Structures are given as C-alpha cells and as structure tokens.
Amino acid sequence: MSFEALLAEAAAVPTEGWDFSWFDGRATEERPPWRYSALLADRLSRATAAADLQTGGGEVVSEARRRPRLLFATETWPPNVHVARHNLPDALVVQVAEGACLPFRAESLDLVTSRHPTHTPWPEVIRVLRPGGTVLTQQIGAGTNRELSEFFLGSLPPPPSTTDHLRRALAPLDVITLREATLRVEFFDVAAVAHFLRKVIWTVPDFTIPRYRDRLRDMHDHITATGSFLSHSRRVLVEARKPQ
C-alpha cells in the first residue's frame, strides 16, 4: 500500500475500547511472563465485591469466566463506557473523571484491579479496600515506547523510576508482588504506528496525523528500508494486600 493509503486507513480505524486485534500482522508486542489475564481471572473467581478501574472497554475482565456477584468498573472516556457496558452486562460500569474520588464506600471492596491505567488513585484504592482485601494491577512503566516517542518528539529526559514511585504509594499496604519486564514492540507499517499513536495518546500527547505527517513519512521510509520499527514497552505487576 502507498503511504497515502496507509495513512487513510489509520485515520479511519475507530479508537474506542482496548481491543488491539486490528494490529494482527501489522505490529507485535511481547507479553509479560506473569500472564496478567490469568492472574486476574483467578482473583475475580475468589472475590465477592470487586472493581476494575480504567477498564477501557472491559475487554480484559470479560475474559474471566467466573466473576464476583458484585462487580463494578470505572472508565474515564465516554465512548469506552458504552463499549464496557456491552462487554460487561453483569457489571455496573460508571464514568469517573480522571483524578476524581472513587464512587465506592470505604472498606467496601475485597478486590481492586486495573490494567494499564493512565493514573492510579492509590489513596482512594486503599480507602475502598476492606482489611485483607487486595489490589492487582499491571502498570505501564515509565519510559514505555520511548524509542517511538523520541522519533516524533526528539530527545526526552530520563524517565523516573516506576518501582520507586510504587513503593512509596504502596507503603500502607503489604506488598505481595512487584515485578518489572521490558518487552519488544515492533511495527511493520506506518498505518500501525499512526493508529497506535491515535489510540495510546500519552505516547505522543499532541499527536494528529496532519501535525506529524512529515515524521510519519520518515517512519514509512524507515520501515520500507528496514522492515519494521522496534520499540520497547515496560510493564510492572503489582499485587498488595491491605493489612487486617
């Protein structure tokens, strides 16, 4: 496909939800060794009242075959709320503004989960957990896809330590697991790059296809010459328990 056709395709793909199946054959991302979806399914099967924060379209939670009787999900972006309500008919899905208090009573949940949140309200998570309750989350590590960000934005300052930040935030809890992984991300055409940047908006915060057209042309030339563009994501698995 030509450069123009690839950009037109990337611009036409909807960005709602966290279904990444469109990227099949166009981009790959190595998975962390701990299999978050399996861990989530196990914890949900044993919970009585749980909430998934920044659920996207509810895709990851919907994979769990056994879910608690009381299941809640929060999402910040209105189009995703509609997708999540479709994917999670057994859950109460509510829209919650970024940084707002969680709409749950203190000590009302025995499980809080979240996969790739843009922001985790740790004081609120601690507030709503029951004593003995747990939080399970896969966090996006600082410096994720730095190579991709710097291709469009130029040199960036060194990223902060994600684990140092998490240790401070988790201080009131008993940490069960805190693991990091660095993973290969590979893009095989410029449409995959452009759609990814439209969907994962924090990678290049002011990204639009017209604004970065020249750099997208450079990206197209790079992939044509070398076969792909290589970047790296960083993931951190956290599981912690609120003391009795």
Q: Strand, coil or helix: what is 101? A: coil
Query: Confidence band (pLDDT; 50, 70, 90) for 100?
Result: very high
The bridge status of strand 27-29 relative to strand 49-52 is unpaired
Per-residue pLDDT of 61-91, as tens digits, reads 999 999 999 999 999 999 999 999 999 999 9
Residue 98, pLDDT above cutoff 90: no
Q: pLDDT by residue (tens digit) across 178-204?
A: 999 999 999 999 999 999 999 999 999
pTM for this one? 0.89
Rg (CA), the chain: 19
Given a contact cutoff of 8 angstroms between Cβ atoms, the answer to whether 156 and 182 are in contact is no
Q: Give the β-pairing of 109-115 and 49-52.
A: parallel
**Is 155's pLDDT higher than 80?**
yes
Distances (CA, A) of 234 to 26, 122, 189: 20, 20, 22
**Each residue's pLDDT tens digit, 10-57:** 999 998 877 788 999 999 999 999 999 999 999 999 999 999 999 999
